[in-house]
Amino acid sequence: MITDLASNFYANPGSLRVVSEWLTEQCGILAVNPKLSNRISVCFNETVANLIEHNQSLSESSVLSLRVSCKPADSVLEVQVIDTGTPFNPFVMSASPLPSTLDEARIGGVGLLLIKKLTSACEYYTTSSLQNILSMTFSY
């Protein structure tokens, strides 16, 4: 059985929090374990925070979409964040190496690293209807 969930929300921090908490509730209903649920929430937050902070074609009233597909038979859960702003593939950026000292640590730029390390797979593409989709897959 495939469970599909969807929600629209605005590109601002308050709306991100509301939908993030909704996502965590849905993970609970789907019996996703707490560790994976936190990973999903972290990656979702990083994806949307990146859009809010860096995609200047979006305003705080721009509508974003979240889609979740859960395929228990394959032990896979896919989370998609969809926007209609200027396309920007964050995965073309290389993640910074891990710092070995506090001096080396960068103050920002760890969101992408979290997404890459906490997902099983992630990809970014733009559809023919100009929707930008960042897809994250989690195995459990």
Partner 1 sequence: MASVTHEDLSDVLRLVKLDGRLDMVGVGEIEMSFVSLAASSGRSVIVDLQGVDFLASVGLRCIIHSAKGLDGKGGRMCLVIGDNDAVLEVLDTVGVTDIIPTLKTNDEALALFAS
Comparing CB distances to partner 1, the nearer of 4 and 34 is 34
Q: Are 93 and 58 in contact (CB under 8 A)?
A: no
Q: Give dist(CA 44, CA 8) in Å, integer.
A: 14
Comparing CB distances to partner 1, the nearer of 20 and 80 is 20
What does the binding site for partner 1 look like in residue numbers (CB under 8 A)? 13-14, 16-17, 20, 34-35, 38-39, 41-42, 45-46, 49, 52, 98-108, 110-111, 113-114, 117-118
Comparing CB distances to partner 1, the nearer of 71 and 85 is 85
Q: Give dist(CA 136, CA 140) in Å, integer.
A: 13
> Whole-number minimum distance, CB 44 to partner 1, in Å?
10
Q: Give dist(CA 85, CA 113) in Å, integer.
A: 23
